[in-house]
Structure 1
Amino acid sequence: MENSALEIALGDEAATQRFGEDVALAVKPGDLIRLEGDLGAGKTTLARALIRSIAGDPDLEVPSPTFTLVQSYDLRIPVHHLDLYRLSDADEVDELGVDELAATGVVLVEWPERAGDRLPGTSVTIRLEHEGDGRRATVSGNPAAMGRLRRSLAIRDFLAAAGWGQGRRRFLLGDASTRAYETVETGDGIRILMNAPKQPDGPPIRDGKPYSQIAHLAESVLPFVAIDEALRAKGFCAPEIFAADVDAGLLLIEHLGSGSYLSPDGQPVRERCEEAARLLAAMHARSWPREIRTSAGADHIVPRYDRGAMAIEVELITDWYVPFATGRPADAAMREEFLDAWNAVFDRLETAETSLVLRDYHSPNLIWREERAGLDRLGIIDFQDAMIGPAAYDVASLAMDARVTIPAELESAILEAYVEASRAAGAFDRTAFEEAYAIMAAQRNSKILGIFVRLDRRDGKPQYLKHLPRIRSYLGRALSHPALAPVARFYSRHGLLEDVAA
């Protein structure tokens, strides 16, 4: 059963430390973990490994809280380490404020039995016992927490099958989607673990289809594998895939480096932005198949960035941004007016140049490799949602970066670098490109406004709201093109254009 107890053999100290890493990558704020076992069973060893893993620092000093009772760590996930061995009375637990501690992070409790029934709800109980030269962990808990832990242990098994089971796992990134990334390090180097379990379809919202199908979002890692192999086959720098379990949603891939195309203070570097634009021109000069057979024999059909996908994305404006910006929901008449305006604009894309659209071609997904040359100088990641669509879309992603401000003059330099490289590669219609660019820039930034508000209102991630002024400014630039007149009138008529200009 999914929530039945686990028995885990920990043959030595290193195995206990790896288990601590596995637990660390499964916990989330609100978890309370009971660490049970006799003196010397390894509770503090496990707690230290867990805390150091979350800190990303194997040498972090983690003193035993035997005398202080509580030791707190302000980390990526705050951790509160309790040792109740010297507790004289269970009533003293109330003075520790464990409920408040759990509300702000993860609580690890050694000797929890000394608290009687005073601890709040437990997520996981780990009992450690001596076994030969090592120890054994018996793990039980609520279904949600156990599901997360089983996933983390399955990742360790996947790494072991790939020859990297002894690797040190560290959290790298959890993005706005359900994907998460880790670094895995051994003496042989560093690799990246992509953790992207298959996602169940959401409720049908149109024509019997859920949002993910209409917007052509990847529902497994197969699209990543297919696009990755296609990019590499044409000489582009996408990560090598060393191991894959498509059904489990796990990939072990190459670490392309840590270089950013931003400066140390987080500002875009013109030379690197222009290089990224030229790489797009090289990509758009190639032909791309819609059907890709991977090296493992699986088939992936690259979806088209069709009108249905574009429309469902911009509707995030009426679904989420309009209520946020105006304080009232969009009614049926407003929604109809909005779609009519966009459909009139989408009509103009019928003859636009098409190519492979990576969909998130911007600073978080571009790795600058200073020591390399040519196409190998810029590493590309995060392309599992790629489609065949208007080539200008990725240019808009780059020149109006959602995560870092691109001034208007740098935007112009990026576009010029793209245009010059495209002209050098063959026939190129600049006027048609500039129209498609404006349309896709307005479409993308409208979508992002809705997504970032949704991340705040629905998913409890308010940090995305800090990007809204930048996105509104970008949208204002795009809407100035005559091709966007119907959409610009909509924003103006409903008071949204003023917000855009703010």
Structure 2
Amino acid sequence: MSALPEGLAEFTAAAGWGAASVHPLPGDASFRRYFRLRRENGEAAMLMHAPPPHEDPAPFLHVAHWLNDHAMRAPAILAEDAAQGWVLIEDFGDDRMRDWLDLHPADERPAYEAAVEALAALHRLPPGPFAPYDMAVYQREAALLTEWWCPAQGLEVDEEGYAEAWQEVMAPVLARQNPGVTVLRDYHAENIMLLGGKASTPQGLIDFQDALVGHPAYDLVSLLQDARRDVPVDLETAMLLHYVEAVGGIDDDFLADYARLGAQRNAKIVGIFTRLDRRDGKPKYLAMIPRVWAALERDLAHPALGPVAAWFEANIPDALRLRHGAFAA
């Protein structure tokens, strides 16, 4: 077990948890570390260490306070020292939606219904005090595919044409996300906690520090085209209908925008997962690329993606696309 970070004992003592036992938890794709603190009476809290310069807990705290102020189920903030990277938060337990569904597959539909309903509640709120999900951000994210995945495949592609295609495809989205909604940006089964011991209970939100103001379809895509678990297409369709019912209807362009945002997000994720391997030495994410690529192909089939689909046809060989972007052994 790695050593505990410097400053942990001082922070927990100041927060009133100095006598608690400290249990490190496994991490994911960032420099953040998490610990469970447990008192002798069984009471628990979660300690997040997001140390500068690689991490900054201030955005997490900003979004968490806003969500909790608006009756969304983010963890309560028990103590904070953003300058040193420390945040003590409510313990949501161990029942992540992803893990729960692995053990209780029959709960899949009610769990997704509850997740969709939580999104609908978020979208009924005015947008939060966050930066806009503007064209520069959409373009920067989509470009991760040409910056990382294409070179990893030995491809030289038309990067200027790629940006132009996305500009044409995403312009209608920008026009329809004003005033917009709060977009959590990483809303999927590994970032949703089941708080009541069953799938249909209120769901806790985590990993929302990158929130922006954007289009209501974005987090829906994140949930229903999950990079980390298979969501059957019939369930995706059913949950889209459930969302429509929960928000009282959608405009005629919503499903086209859903495909646009799905393609943009999936292109971004392919690039990120490649970067995690090539730059950060985390090859486990490569195994998820075929799932993401399959969703990308479904999105590209929508007529709204015409310019981007044409770019893929001209720049990405059929052999790579047929194997859904999987890396050679």
- Relative to the length of structure 1, the TM-score reads 0.60
Does 2:123 correspond to 1:281? no
Give, in angstroms, the shift of residue 187 of structure 1. 1.9
Q: Which has the higher strand share?
A: 1
Give, in angstroms, the shift of residue 372 of structure 1. 8.1
DSSP 3-state at the match of 1:464: helix
Give, in angstroms, the shift of residue 490 of structure 1. 1.1
Q: Select which of 240, 249, 252 maps to 2:85.
A: 249
Sequence identity (%): 38
Task: Tell me if structure 1 keeps the 8 A contact 2:97–2:194.
Answer: yes
- Relative to the length of structure 2, the TM-score reads 0.90
Q: Aligned partners of 1:465 and 1:373: how far apart in 2?
A: 29
DSSP 3-state at the match of 2:96: coil
DSSP 3-state at the match of 1:351: helix
Q: Which runs of 4+ in 1 moved over 4 A?
A: 371-374
Give, in angstroms, the shift of residue 369 of structure 1. 2.4
Q: Select which of 69, 72, 82 maps to 1:236.
A: 72
Matching residue of 1:365: 191
Number of corresponding residues: 317
Alignment of 1:198-347 (within 5 A): 198-199=52-53, 220-262=56-98, 263-265=101-103, 269-290=108-129, 302-325=130-153, 327-330=154-157, 334-347=158-171
Q: Aligned partners of 2:171 and 2:233: how far apart in 1?
A: 27
Q: Select which of 182, 195, 201 maps to 2:49.
A: 195
CA deviations 1:266-323 (Å, max 9, x no partner) are 8571111121012111111111332xxxxxxxxxxx1111111111111111111112
Give, in angstroms, the shift of residue 243 of structure 1. 0.6
Task: Tell me if structure 2 keeps the 8 A contact 1:194–1:252.
Answer: yes
Matching residue of 2:21: 168
CA deviations 1:138-187 (Å, max 9, x no partner) are xxxxxxxxxxx6xx131121111111122222221322122121111122
DSSP 3-state at the match of 1:183: strand
Q: Aligned partners of 1:496 and 1:245: how far apart in 2?
A: 50
CA deviations 1:361-396 (Å, max 9, x no partner) are 00111011235899x711101101000111111000
> What is the CA RMSD across the aligned residues, in angstroms?
2.0
Give ranges in structure 1 of 5+ residues lacking alignment.
Answer: 1-23, 27-148, 201-218, 291-301
Matching residue of 2:250: 428
CA deviations 1:418-444 (Å, max 9, x no partner) are 111011xxx631x22111111111111
Task: Tell me if structure 2 keeps the 8 A contact 1:399–1:406.
Answer: yes
Matching residue of 1:16: none
DSSP 3-state at the match of 2:181: strand
Q: Aligned partners of 2:113 and 2:276: how far apart in 1?
A: 31
Q: Aligned partners of 1:501 and 1:394: how far apart in 2?
A: 27
Q: Aligned partners of 1:317 and 1:162: how far apart in 2?
A: 43
Identify if the C-alpha distance between structure 1 residues 496 and 243 changes in structure 2 by more than 3 Å, giving closer, same or farther.
farther
For residue 428 of structure 1, what is the amino acid of its counterpart?
Answer: I
Task: Tell me if structure 1 keeps the 8 A contact 2:128–2:213.
Answer: no
Q: Which has the higher helix share?
A: 2
Q: Aligned partners of 1:348 and 1:180: how far apart in 2?
A: 39
Does 2:204 correspond to 1:379? yes
Q: Select which of 466, 469, 478 maps to 2:290.
A: 469
For residue 47 of structure 2, what is the amino acid of its counterpart?
Answer: L
For residue 153 of structure 1, what is the amino acid of its counterpart?
Answer: E
Give, in angstroms, the shift of residue 498 of structure 1. 5.0
Q: Aligned partners of 2:318 and 2:93: how far apart in 1?
A: 41
Q: Aligned partners of 1:496 and 1:248: how far apart in 2?
A: 48
